[in-house]
Amino acid sequence: MLAQEFEYGQTEALDLSVIASRLQGFFEERSTHPMILLVHDQGPSLNVLRNCGVDTSTWEVGITGLIGFKLKVCDTEFMCASSPTTTLSRPEQS
C-alpha cells in the first residue's frame, strides 16, 4: 500500500531516535509557557510521548488550571447536585 501524500506539507520517514529528539526539543522549547495539547486518546498519546523521552510529570489533564475554573470529579454520578462546581463521573470499571 502506498502512503498518501500529505496535503499541507511533505512526508518524512524518520528513525524513532530522530522523532524522539524532535518531540523532546519541541516541548522543551515551550516549557516556560502554558500550552494546550489536544489528543484523540489521552493514555496512548501520553505513553508515546513518555517513551520518546518527553517529561509529562508536571502536566495537568484538562484545561481547568489554565482558565481558573474548578472541575470536581465524582465517582458515583454524572452531576453532583450538592456541589457548586461542575462535576463529572468516572466511567465504571468493568
20-42 per-position pLDDT tens digit: 999 999 999 988 888 888 888 99
Which tens digit of pLDDT belongs to each residue from 37-90? Answer: 888 899 999 999 999 999 998 888 887 777 776 656 555 554 454 444 444 445
pTM of the model: 0.58
The three-state DSSP-derived secondary structure of the chain is CCCCCCCCCCCCCCCHHHHHHHHHHHHHHCCCCCCCCCCCCHHHHHHHHHHCCCCCCCCCCCCHHHHCCCEEEECCCCCCCCCCCEEEECCCCC
Tally the residues of the chain.
94
CB-side neighbour CA atoms (13 Å) of 59: 18
Per-residue confidence (pLDDT) for residue 73, from 0 to 100: 57
Domain boundaries, the chain: 9-58, 60-94
